[in-house]
Amino acid sequence: MTETAGTGSTSALPFSKMHGAGNDFVVLDLRGDRDAPQPDLCRAIAHRHHGVGCDQILTIEAPRTAAAIASYRIWNADGSSSQQCGNGARCVAAWLVREGSAPAAGEFQLDSPIGAHTVQRLGDGRYRVNMGVPEFEPARIPMVGFDAARDPYVLPVRGSIMPVGAVSMGNPHALIEVDDIDTAELDLAGPGLQDHPAFPESVNVGFAQILGRDRIRLRVYERGVGETLACGSGACAAVAILARRGLVDRDVKVSLPGGDLQISWPTDDQPMVMTGAAAFVFEGEWNA
């Protein structure tokens, strides 16, 4: 593959193609002397027809804290940066285990763009990730125009009035309950909420169908990507909002188009924990 935009180096750029429940990534090891990818390179790599194809690019870098074995950053398909990605965290963990930098058993810590995450390998390609405590205060999401948390927020969106839940999982999420996610208007409500002035940093938009107290179906329209096959932070956000409404329990299977994630939230003031698989697809080199 050839691309004129570079990372600050003229040599071939090795990468791993990975996915977590269908949410796919290109993983770059930047622990040497390589610079972070520029937006035009991210867009070129992420292109589904002319590039490798992915939802996000993950860059593995030196740890920022003494307790971590590595850090990572997240770049969306449109070249913008992201703060949180649960499926990406599992893929980074699996990549480091395979490479030998992380232990094959027990817990280890990764530095994400928003803080530290404890990770545990469970076997069968599955990893458990501490995703942090949900933030419901508007300033923390962030949302503007509201001085206190509400549920739902009633927002005008492209000629319709929509009741939405909102929470931060390190990145902003809005949630719409629907009777059937197969017929949900993602292409209308997703961009409409992402462009809404209440969300100054845009927002990831989830559409949830409750199947029972221990299971939901979910589709997510992500910032900088569009609809994805899975979204780990979106799964956590959906469970957090629905659990606070009393509609689901504290341990919920979230079925996304690309696969299932198990989300646990013991109490409101404790971190959410996500469990799911991480898979390697292929290895390659990008010739910049």
Cβ neighbours of 64 (radius 10 Å): 13
- The three-state secondary structure class of 254 is strand
Please indicate if the annotation marks 87 as binding a ligand: yes
- Of residues 54, 85, 91, 236, which has the active-site annotation? 85
Please indicate if the annotation marks 171 as binding a ligand: yes
Please indicate if the annotation marks 223 as binding a ligand: yes
- Of residues 54, 91, 231, 236, which has the active-site annotation? 231
- Please say if 231 is a catalytic residue: yes
Please indicate if the annotation marks 194 as binding a ligand: no
- Give the pairing of strands 259-264 and 251-256: antiparallel
Task: Provide CB contacts within 8 A for 48, sequence distance 6+.
Answer: none
Please indicate if the annotation marks 130 as binding a ligand: no
CA distance linking residue 225 with residue 182, whole number of Å: 19
H or E stretch at 241: helix 232-244
Please indicate if the annotation marks 287 as binding a ligand: no
Task: Provide CB contacts within 8 A for 229, sequence distance 6+.
Answer: 19, 21, 22, 23, 24, 256, 257, 258, 259
Nearest to 129 by CA among 263, 281, 266: 263
Please indicate if the annotation marks 233 as binding a ligand: yes
CA distance linking residue 105 with residue 123, whole number of Å: 9
Please indicate if the annotation marks 22 as binding a ligand: no
Q: Which residues of 86-107 are buried (b: 16+ CB within 10 A; e: fewer)?
A: bbbbbbbbbbbbeeeebeeeee
- Please say if 236 is a catalytic residue: no
Known binding-site residue numbers: 23, 56, 76, 86-87, 171, 204, 222-223, 232-233
Query: Which positions are catalytic?
Result: 85, 231
Known binding-site residue numbers for substrate: 23, 56, 76, 86-87, 171, 204, 222-223, 232-233
